[in-house]
Copies of this chain bind each other. A is one copy, B any other.
Amino acid sequence: MAILGIDIGGTSIKGGLVYRYGQVDKLFSLPIDKELSQEEQIEALIKKIKETYNDNEFEGIGLGIPGAIDNTLGVVMYSNNLKWENLPIGRMLKHSFPGKKVAMTNDANAAALGEAKFGSAKNEQDVVMITLGTGIGSGIIINGKLYEGNHGRGAELGHQVLVLDGIPCTCGRKGCFEMYASATALVRQANEAIKENPECKLALIAKNGEEVNGKLIFETAKAGCTTAQKVVDNYIKYLGEGLINICNVFRPSSIVLSGGIANQGDYLLNKLVAYLEKEHYGYLPEVKVEIKIASLGYNSGIIGAATLLLK
């Protein structure tokens, strides 16, 4: 039987049946109605599940949720994006689907589990996944198991200070990795460069009204704009130093990158790997850390969440 994988995002909830080899079937998507209370939002999800699936189609429900989760209690402690707090989602689902197992983790952890089981780090036992988005999310697999820090409250690789006394972070610290290597950080770095080089190609495109985002910055660099190239090279340095920090603690067999910037594929990967090989501490060929791009794509959250319960 399948596991129902549920991927809760900032604006919608996606779900689907996930089978033993990672196949996905009967997908649904439910917009989150922020006018509802948090409990009513979960009731809407339960209704949607009951409409979409027969009770005998799945044997358990796995959830990936953006925020701090107490996976023992089945409670979302808080989620900034969703404005959820102390939400006993595990108990609500168990009550509505008696006899089904329910498991949950945060969305970055779920994605890491999926990539380590079915994606680009398939069947590897020691994997770190880094999501380069608005912030930097991280999921750590040690010995085939999710590592969430003591009490499931740690493993915040995005909130490691890399630049002492650097840019203030949303977390309250200064100079966190995510303030320099997230997609948001790349755009900020590009906008600063545009101000200083108002005649460069990137600046002219931006003046034309195009949104300065990761894709545009990388494409303009590829097209030969030296300002954009400098922005990208500098970004690679921040990202690279943060990844070496991770290597020096976990030395995983792979680091898997996801998020919009990871879509830059080989151009990103080649530059990044060159940087790592140049700067790598205690670089040991026999325990080389491979850098990979996440491969599960749009359904990675659903697959990862289901992986919590897949045998």
Q: Which residues of A come within 8 Å of B, CB atoms?
A: 68, 125-126, 142, 147, 149-151, 153-157, 159-164, 166, 171-173, 180, 238, 241, 244-245, 247-253, 279, 281-282, 284, 286-287
CB-CB < 8 A to A160: which residues of B? 160, 245, 248-249
Q: Are A173 and B281 in contact (CB under 8 A)?
A: yes
* Copy count, this protein chain: 2
CB-CB < 8 A to A157: which residues of B? 248-249
Q: Which of B68, B172, B180, B279 contacts A173 (CB 8 A)?
A: B279
CA distance A173 to B252 in the complex (A): 19
Q: Are B248 and A156 in contact (CB under 8 A)?
A: yes
CB-CB < 8 A to A150: which residues of B? 125-126, 142, 250-253, 287
Q: Which of B125, B154, B180 contacts A251 (CB 8 A)?
A: B154
Q: Are A282 and B171 in contact (CB under 8 A)?
A: yes
CA distance A159 to B248 in the complex (A): 7
CA distance A142 to B249 in the complex (A): 13
CB-CB < 8 A to A164: which residues of B? 162-163, 166, 180, 238, 241
Q: Are A151 and B281 in contact (CB under 8 A)?
A: no
CB-CB < 8 A to A153: which residues of B? 251, 282, 284, 287
Given the known inter-chain contacts A154-B250, A154-B251, A282-B156, please indicate yes or no for A241 contacting B171, CB distance below 8 A.
Answer: no
CB<8 Å pairs between A and B, sample of 26? A149-B249, A149-B250, A149-B251, A150-B250, A151-B251, A151-B287, A153-B282, A153-B287, A154-B249, A154-B250, A154-B251, A155-B250, A156-B249, A156-B282, A159-B281, A159-B282, A160-B245, A161-B241, A161-B244, A162-B162, A162-B164, A164-B238, A173-B241, A173-B244, A173-B279, A173-B281
